[in-house]
């Protein structure tokens, strides 16, 4: 039989022609698909224009005394907010937070708008007695301004609808709805508040901000709070005191004096462009005696913890600092610690540096025990290897029992090494929540990082790598290198599995820092800086313990002395583990006997 060593000349030519044909077909159908998508976009735009025109005509029919040409814009302003109101729908059409800027790679003073360019619209919807749907966002109102109050009035088939907005200090806009004669127009007992909102990107790091953008709401008389990042929100069984849409550092919230019922919502990601997500919300508000007289309040606010707590409406829960102990750790430890250090007038990056050192000092007794245990494990490694060699072909249970006996005689408690890891898990998660949500760090630069709440991208790639992006964060790279060095210094003390099929823990330990790079590359640079400093301190601690504090010869002598003494009585956990292993060993022997 002739062996096929590869493709001959004719096969290569055939393969090349086939490849060219396939590429040609792909380009042809790709162009066809692009043309079809452009036609669909044009048709959709045409339909949108027709729908808008139909709504305008409907609004003109319902409100014949005022024409669409009479649409006006009026403004209110205080130190915190600049607001614009439109006579079309009587809505807040523009909201700017005066003391904050949005992220822009070129313009560092780009104004930060929550509402603008028709990205948000809202109104109250009900049916007239003929069954025709009326939505106040389609009506034309007449505005009047008196001091810090804007009153917008619309006439609808003999009924009068008024929206009264009053700009209060700081970030609050009181909103009252008053009607006269509405009972003659509708038999409905409720109106549906409809709010459509396309959230605009305002931070560096689209993926991170998109993750933090979601529905947020309170119920049970402001006592209970929840958030919803799912596509569909369904809270028909609760009366919501307020409903809002939060971003990474800002939120737009509307509060109803008597609450929203039958609440439903929808949200979906917008993958490209200036908007992050689109939101739709429906909730019912009740009429009183056939009239719509309800009090509301809009809040357009930064997610600053002291500010949120000052409202006493459970707004502070909007800030995602973590649940239960994690949230308490951030609220009562890390945030006050950072605020205290930063009040000394030092740069934000150095404040994080000092905070890291303080945390390490607090954890130093635990860390010392961990590294001392590591040193002791290294000293008794030859004896562990001897046990593994002696019982190489023995039952795994027997080998494990003998290994535990060596540890017990040497006075080494393996469980003591788990404590530092368990202590650091909540700290890790708390800081993971702290850095991307601490508004005091927003826009604070440090070295090559423009914003400590976002990634640094000094190294830009000409292409995008899946899960990594189109850049390399220097802080993330530095942190990864330090973790690798730390791993190399500690992996030597790890006992390798002797059983077949068991994973090599050393390999897994080296893989972890690499995967950490993918995680940190798009995370807050403040978080990467913290972990860099933390692991650098860990390396210093190991070197100090190894060369200054601990003497391996003394440890070895102490272990030999412990072995000569009567073994310490077993602890409850050790006794339970030994009994379980003995029981498992007996069961294994019985099974082998039954097979024979």
Asked if residue 63 lies in contact with residue 154, where contact means CB atoms within 8 angstroms, the answer is: yes
Average pLDDT over residues 424-433: 82
Structure-token pair, residue 224: 């209970």
Asked if residue 298 lies in contact with residue 92, where contact means CB atoms within 8 angstroms, the answer is: yes
Average pLDDT over residues 7-11: 39
CA–CA separation, 565 and 403 (whole Å) = 18
Query: pLDDT digits over 160-211, tens only?
Result: 999 999 999 889 999 999 999 988 888 888 999 999 999 999 888 888 888 8
Write the CB contacts of 173 (distance below 8 Å, at least 6 apart in sequence): 81, 83, 92, 165, 166, 167, 297, 298, 299, 300
- Report the side by side order of strands in the sheet with 111-115: 73-77, 81-86, 91-101, 111-115
End-to-end CA distance of the chain: give it in Å, rounded: 49
Asked if residue 184 lies in contact with residue 220, where contact means CB atoms within 8 angstroms, the answer is: no
Length reported for the chain = 596
Structure-token pair, residue 83: 């607001």
Asked if residue 154 lies in contact with residue 136, where contact means CB atoms within 8 angstroms, the answer is: yes
Closest CA to 544 of 394, 392, 364: 364
Given a cut of 70, is residue 69 above it in pLDDT? no
Structure-token pair, residue 24: 């040609």
Given a cut of 60, is residue 474 above it in pLDDT? yes
Label residue 8 by pLDDT band (50, 70, 90).
very low
Report the Cα 375 to chain-centroid distance in Å.
39
Write down the pLDDT at residue 33. Answer: 42
Given a cut of 80, is residue 562 above it in pLDDT? no
Q: How many helices (H) and strands (E) in the chain? A: 14, 20
Query: pLDDT digits over 501-533, tens only?
Result: 444 555 666 677 778 788 888 888 888 898 899
Write down the pLDDT at residue 466. Answer: 80
Query: pLDDT digits over 73-104, tens only?
Result: 999 999 999 999 999 999 999 999 999 998 87
Alpha helix segments (H runs only) across 181-334: 206-211, 305-310, 324-329
Given a cut of 60, is residue 9 above it in pLDDT? no
Write down the pLDDT at residue 566. Answer: 58
Percent of the chain with pLDDT over 90: 31
- Give all domains of the chain, ordered by start, each with its CATH number: 68-320 (2.70.98.90), 326-567 (no CATH)
CB atoms within 10 A of CB 54: 11
Report the Cα 48 to chain-centroid distance in Å.
34
Write the CB contacts of 16 (distance below 8 Å, at least 6 apart in sequence): none
Given a cut of 80, is residue 218 above it in pLDDT? yes
Q: What is the dihedral of CA 324, 255, 139, 46, to 10 degrees?
A: 0
Closest CA to 203 of 164, 246, 160, 234: 246
Average pLDDT over residues 447-457: 85
Write down the pLDDT at residue 84. Answer: 95
CA–CA separation, 522 and 531 (whole Å) = 15
Query: pLDDT digits over 573-591, tens only?
Result: 556 666 666 666 666 666 6
Given a cut of 60, is residue 251 above it in pLDDT? yes
Given a cut of 50, is residue 356 above it in pLDDT? yes
Q: Which residues of 253-267 are buried (b: 16+ CB within 10 A; e: fewer)?
A: bbbbeebbbbbebbb
Q: Which residue has the tokens 């700017």?
A: 96
Structure-token pair, residue 514: 């690499």
Which range has the top average pLDDT, 224-228, 282-286, 392-396, 490-494? 282-286
Label residue 48 by pLDDT band (50, 70, 90).
very low
Average pLDDT over residues 335-355: 90
CA–CA separation, 159 and 385 (whole Å) = 91
Asked if residue 202 lies in contact with residue 102, where contact means CB atoms within 8 angstroms, the answer is: yes
Given a cut of 80, is residue 252 above it in pLDDT? yes
Structure-token pair, residue 275: 């908007």
Which of 183-192, 290-299, 409-418, 496-505 shows the lowest per-residue confidence on average (mean pLDDT)?
496-505
Write down the pLDDT at residue 5. Answer: 38
What is the three-state SS of 432-470? HHHHHHCHHHCCCCECCECCCCCCCCCEEEEEEECCCEE
Which range has the top average pLDDT, 14-18, 41-45, 578-582? 578-582
Write the CB contacts of 395 (distance below 8 Å, at least 6 apart in sequence): 585, 588
Write down the pLDDT at residue 24. Answer: 47
* CA dist list (Å): 436 to 211, 275, 441: 11, 20, 8
Considering only residues 272 and 66, tell me which one the structure prediction assigns the higher pLDDT.
Answer: 272
Given a cut of 70, is residue 70 above it in pLDDT? no
The backbone torsions φ and ψ at residue 238, rounded to the nearest 5 degrees and listed phi first, read -110, 155
Given a cut of 60, is residue 68 above it in pLDDT? no
Angle value at C-alpha 351, between 348 and 357, nearest 5 degrees: 150
Which of 215-229, 387-401, 544-558, 560-574 shows the lowest per-residue confidence on average (mean pLDDT)?
560-574
Write down the pLDDT at residue 29. Answer: 39
Q: What distance separates the 2 farthest-apart alpha carbons in the chain?
A: 104
Given a cut of 70, is residue 564 above it in pLDDT? no
CB atoms within 10 A of CB 373: 19
CB atoms within 10 A of CB 55: 13
Write down the pLDDT at residue 289. Answer: 82
């Amino acid at each position: 039989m002739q062996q096929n060593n590869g493709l001959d000349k004719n096969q290569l030519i055939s393969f090349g022609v086939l490849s060219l044909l396939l590429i040609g077909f792909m380009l042809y159908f790709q162009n066809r698909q692009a043309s079809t998508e452009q036609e669909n976009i044009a048709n959709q735009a045409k339909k949108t224009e027709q729908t808008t025109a139909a709504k305008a005509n409907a609004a003109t029919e319902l409100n014949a005394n005022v024409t669409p040409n009479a649409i006006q814009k009026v403004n209110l302003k205080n130190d915190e907010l600049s607001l614009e109101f439109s006579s079309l729908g009587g809505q807040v059409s523009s909201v700017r937070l005066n003391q904050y800027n949005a992220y822009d790679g070129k313009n560092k003073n780009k104004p930060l708008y929550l509402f603008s360019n028709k990205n948000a619209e809202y109104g109250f919807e009900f049916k007239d007695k003929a069954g025709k749907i009326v939505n106040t966002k389609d009506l034309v109102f007449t505005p009047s301004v008196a001091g810090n109050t804007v009153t917008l009035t619309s006439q609808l088939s003999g009924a009068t609808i008024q929206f009264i907005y009053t700009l209060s200090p700081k970030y609050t806009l009181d909103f009252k709805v008053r009607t006269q004669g509405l009972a003659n127009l509708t038999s409905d007992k409720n109106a549906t508040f409809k709010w459509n909102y396309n959230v605009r990107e305002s931070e560096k790091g689209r993926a991170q901000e998109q993750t933090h953008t979601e529905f947020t709401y309170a119920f049970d008389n402001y006592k209970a709070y929840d958030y919803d990042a799912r596509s569909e929100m369904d809270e028909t069984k609760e009366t919501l005191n307020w409903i809002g849409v939060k971003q990474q550092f800002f939120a737009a919230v509307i509060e109803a004096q008597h609450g929203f019922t039958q609440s439903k919502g929808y949200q979906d990601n917008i993958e490209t462009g200036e908007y992050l997500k689109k939101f739709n919300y429906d909730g019912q508000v009740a009429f009183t005696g056939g009239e719509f007289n309800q009090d509301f309040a809009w809040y357009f606010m930064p997610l600053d913890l002291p500010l949120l707590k000052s409202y006493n409406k459970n707004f502070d829960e909007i800030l995602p600092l973590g649940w239960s102990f994690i949230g308490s750790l951030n609220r009562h430890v890390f945030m006050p610690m950072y605020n205290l250090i930063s009040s000394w007038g030092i740069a934000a990056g150095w404040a994080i540096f000092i905070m890291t050192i303080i945390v390490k000092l607090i954890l130093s007794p635990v860390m010392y025990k961990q590294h001392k245990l590591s040193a002791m494990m290294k000293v008794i490694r030859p004896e562990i290897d001897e046990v593994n060699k002696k019982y190489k072909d023995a039952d795994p249970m027997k080998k494990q029992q003998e290994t535990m006996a060596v540890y017990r005689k040497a006075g080494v408690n393996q469980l003591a090494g788990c404590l530092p890891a368990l202590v650091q898990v909540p700290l890790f998660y708390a800081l993971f929540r702290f850095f991307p949500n601490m508004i005091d760090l927003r826009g604070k630069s440090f070295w090559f990082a423009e914003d400590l709440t976002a990634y640094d991208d000094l190294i830009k790639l000409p292409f995008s790598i899946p899960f990594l992006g189109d850049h390399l964060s220097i802080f993330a790279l530095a942190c990864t290198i330090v973790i690798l060095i730390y791993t190399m210094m500690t992996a030597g003390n790890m006992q390798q599995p002797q059983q077949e099929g068991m994973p090599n823990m050393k390999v897994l330990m080296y893989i972890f820092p690499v995967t950490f790079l993918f995680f940190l590359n798009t995370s807050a640079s403040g978080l990467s800086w913290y972990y860099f400093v933390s692991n650098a301190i860990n390396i210093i601690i190991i070197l100090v313990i190894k060369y200054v504090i601990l003497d391996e010869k003394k440890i070895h002598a102490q272990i030999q002395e412990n072995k000569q003494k009567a073994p310490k009585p077993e602890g409850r956990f050790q006794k339970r583990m030994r009994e379980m292993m003995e029981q498992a060993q007996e069961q294994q022997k019985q099974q082998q006997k039954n097979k024979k």
